[in-house]
A and B are shown apart, each in its own frame.
Chain A
Amino acid sequence: MKCIHLFIAIVFLASCQTMPVINPPMFPAVQKNLTCPSPFLKEKYQLIHAIEINTAGNAQGAIIGITVADPSTRFVSCAIMTAEGMVLLEAETDAEKLSVHRALPPFDSGDFAKNMIDDIKLIYFPPQGLMQKKGNLPDGSTACRWQEENGDFIDVIASKPESTEIKKYSAGGSLKRHIKLTQTEENAYSSIELRGSEIINYTLLMTLIEAQPVKSALPGKEKLKVKNNEKSYRR
């Protein structure tokens, strides 16, 4: 019984990880020249990842994730499907409107599509909020902090030369998302680890299958002729 209490306490403490202090450089000139890490997309891209899903430390399965993202308009079109090609969810959003074209249970529940697209934006697009701090973490990593309109904080941290971390905290300072991007020479999104802290904590391990810039109009921006399970939400 003590072990269970200890386990719950550890899980609780882990989920309540708070924002670290970002120390500004000692010299103003250094701060002025400090560049925030920016692992984000610079142009329209289509990315396909194999995604392993873990909850409570157990592997739950794997799916294929397809994303088309345009940083200039913050438009996202995305789909998830099984290895066999069954499309489980297809959705798109621009700055205002979220449209779910297909959602099979349980992906049709609640705000699943909205939360998924929020995660995608967190990975691929720079924060939109006001910059709060710029400097170094106690371990020496370069870090920049933004505060979003809804009060959430986003830290972007250059932890290693080939690795960048993105952390999202609630307005109260508890960690909600922790993303680790491991890049190769070919692509900044070769490997993505996303840890989500919700009622049930989960981890997504994303391995890049292919990536390519989208030169033409975004496929998802065309009007889709979808007959089933179409829903539309105004954000």
Chain B
Amino acid sequence: MRTDRTLHRYFCILVCSLLILSLSIAALADSFEQLRKDSANIKTIKARFVQKKFMKILAKPLISEGRFYYIAPDAFRWEYLKPLRSVVIAYKGDTRRYIFSGGKMIEDKSGGAQAMKIVLGEVTGWMSGKFDQNPSFTATLKEGTNTQITLIPVGKSMSGMIEKIEITVSKKAAAVKSVKIIENANAFTQIDFTDVETNKVISSAVFQDVQ
């Protein structure tokens, strides 16, 4: 059970990181070096998102909706509002996950601390725009009508979980078009953002109150 929950947390934080990463690169860059500079200007992010889960078993994608908040360098709240409520909150070096069950939000108390450290190390790197300096992923940046960043896991840590991550940034709108997390040939997750606000004040209570 512990292994499962560790993987689960790993996945949650990874996806959270992608949200932050993808919004950070909305500042548009044509190189990883520029990306790092642009990311440094993002102090806070607030947004809503719609997640579409595509699987062979699903006749149509399963749609989830949520919102998330971020304060640089490492505080975030990533919350699903429907169809199933869940929240991942990282604040002051502590990361917790809560799920709605039994009429209330309950904490997922398991998870390997060591795995969390590794993941958070990766997250910090991404948030700094250091996509090409993470040994766990190979990153490529492709220019075209849109800018596409592709992250491919290198080691076995994400074996069976994630095959590839594609982040597409619209050059015209200078905003992220999509984040696509490809699990395997039959399943992928696409996340689209709306109501994105950057560098506006976010109360610290957002990272302390679960409800």
Q: Tell whether A pairs with B.
A: yes
Q: How far is the CB of B111 from chain A (nearest CB, A)?
A: 12
CB < 8 Å A-B pair total: 119
Asked whether, in the complex, the Cβ of B11 is within 8 Å of the Cβ of A82, the reply is yes
Query: Are B62 and A107 interface neighbours, CB within 8 A?
Result: no
Using CB atoms, name the residue of chain B closest to A229.
B160
B58 within 8 A of A: yes
B210 within 8 A of A: no
Q: Knowing A50-B84, A106-B4 touch, does A61 contact B101 (C-beta < 8 A)?
A: yes
Contact check, A104 vs B185: say whether CB atoms are below 8 A apart.
no
Residues of B in contact (CB 8 Å), total: 41
Bound form: Cα–Cα A101–B189 in Å = 18
* B57→A68 contact, CB < 8 A: yes
* Shortest beta-carbon distance from B112 to chain A in Å: 12
Q: Does B15 contact A (CB under 8 A)?
A: yes
> What's the dominant secondary structure at chain A's contact region?
strand
A90 to B187, CA, bound (A): 11
User: Assuming the A-B contacts A224-B186, A228-B184, are A104 and B7 also in contact, with contact meaning beta carbons closer than 8 angstroms in the complex?
Assistant: yes
Partner of B4, one of A66, A104, A219: A104
Contacts of B181 in A (CB 8 A): 85
Q: Report the minimum CB–CB distance from B138 to chain A (whole Å).
A: 18
A residues less than 8 Å from B11 (CB atoms): 82, 84, 86
Cα-based distance from A132 to B177 in the complex (angstroms)? 61
Known contacts being A83-B99, A105-B4, is A219 close to B59, with CB within 8 Å? Answer: yes
The 9 A-B residue pairs with the shortest CB-CB distance in the complex, in nearest-first order = A59-B102, A228-B160, A83-B86, A59-B101, A83-B84, A105-B3, A225-B185, A86-B11, A62-B101
Complex A-B: 17 CB contacts under 8 Å: A48-B62, A50-B83, A54-B102, A59-B102, A62-B99, A78-B57, A83-B80, A83-B99, A84-B11, A85-B181, A85-B189, A86-B8, A86-B161, A219-B58, A222-B56, A226-B186, A227-B185
